[in-house]
Amino acid sequence: MVELDKKKFLVSIGKYLLRFFVLTLIFVYGFAQVTEYSNLKPIVSDLTTKMLSESQAMGGVNPQLLDGITQQCQNTDKIVIPMGSDSVTIDCKEVQAKGVSALPQYLSDAIANIVLKDYYKDYGCSPVGCLTSLAVSRDTTKLPFLISAQMNQFLKTLIPYLVIGLILSLFILIYSIRETFSIFKEVGMTLLSAGVPFVLLFILKYREQLLVSTGILSGKEDFMSSANQFLSGPVNNVTDLYLYMYGIVFIIGAVLAITGYIVLRKREKEAKDAGKTGAS
């Protein structure tokens, strides 16, 4: 009885740790890819462009801003627009060469440069210290740390430890269960639960085919329009990255769980049939 309780306890711990390390590893690996400067700058620029376009469509200040820049550029070579402690410098010759329609993208790129100006900054604290300042002390000066080279490097150093943790959690399950297809079933079910974000991302990715084409939604809902605008361009690449990784986990989990379940059910049935034969 004590041995059985110990086994159940180890299986529960192994499943919990496996789920934790799989989810954390995928998140950390994905975020490490996103915070690479070459990937991050297009994302920030794309988000800024979308925000400017949305404000412009809503009749916000941006139409006047864009018209004002266009008019001023007729009389000067450069315009400096203050933005808090920073400023955006507009090269009027470049704007005129690209055309007025390219101005929102030009502004987005300039703003992205400001947002990422501290990417390589030394924040004077360890990654854990910076994150603690953000979470506990609410130190907003450390907010840019989340998309910095220092954060990116920290995430990369975590990956080997998370892989080791994942392997150890598998070892705990293998050691405590010791029967191949029971291991398949338990590991598979755990991976399926860790792969639930795949289902949500899949619905989000193929929302038009799954929700609109089937008549569940009309496609004219505000949140659908916002999703269509937001989930495009470089931001869509982030969705695809996580969809792919969670998809692998979900599929492996499904294959292992189904294989384990079928074999164990078959064995159980054979054992019952053998018992009936022996009884007769």
The string of pLDDT tens digits covering residues 226-239 is 666 677 778 888 88
Residue 160 pLDDT? 97
Q: Alpha-carbon distance 21 to 19, whole Å?
A: 6
DSSP code of 61?
S
Burial 95-115 (b: 16+ CB within 10 A, else e): beeeeeeebbbbbbbbbbebb
Which residue from 140, 251, 263, 247 is spatially nearest to 204, judged by alpha carbons? 247
H helices of the chain, where?
2-34, 37-57, 62-72, 92-98, 103-115, 127-135, 149-177, 180-194, 196-205, 207, 222-230, 234-279
Res 261 pLDDT > 70: yes
Amino acid, res. 143: L
Position 60 scores a pLDDT of: 45
For residues 213 and 44, give the distance between their C-alpha atoms in angstroms, rounded to a whole number: 32
Residue that has been written with the tokens 């989000």 in this structure:
204
Residues 6+ apart with CB under 8 A from 261: 185
pLDDT in the model for residue 86: 73
Average the pLDDT over 199-204 and give the result.
86
pLDDT at 31 over 80: yes
pLDDT in tens, 69-123: 777 777 888 888 777 677 778 888 877 777 666 777 777 788 888 888 889 988 8
* Residue 78 phi, psi (nearest 5): -140, 145
For 212, the token pair is: 């609109």
Q: Note the pLDDT of residue 45.
A: 85
d(CA 174, CA 186): 10
pLDDT value for 233: 78
* Nearest CA-CA partner of 115 in 37, 232, 230: 37
Residue type, 173: L
Give the DSSP H or E segment for 137. Answer: none
Q: What is the pTM of this model?
A: 0.82
In DSSP terms, 121 is beta-bridged to none
Q: What is the token pair recorded at 87?
A: 């400023």
For the segment 161-173, what is each residue's pLDDT rounded down to a tens digit? 999 999 999 999 9
Exposed e or buried b per residue across 52-83, where buried means at least 16 C-beta atoms within 10 angstroms of its C-beta: beeebeeeeebeebbeebeeebeeeeebeeee
Range among 28-37, 79-88, 201-210 with highest mean pLDDT value: 28-37
Nearest to 26 by CA among 247, 251, 233: 247
The span from the CA of 229 to the CA of 235, in Å, is 10
Q: How far apart are CA 50 and CA 40, in angstroms?
A: 15
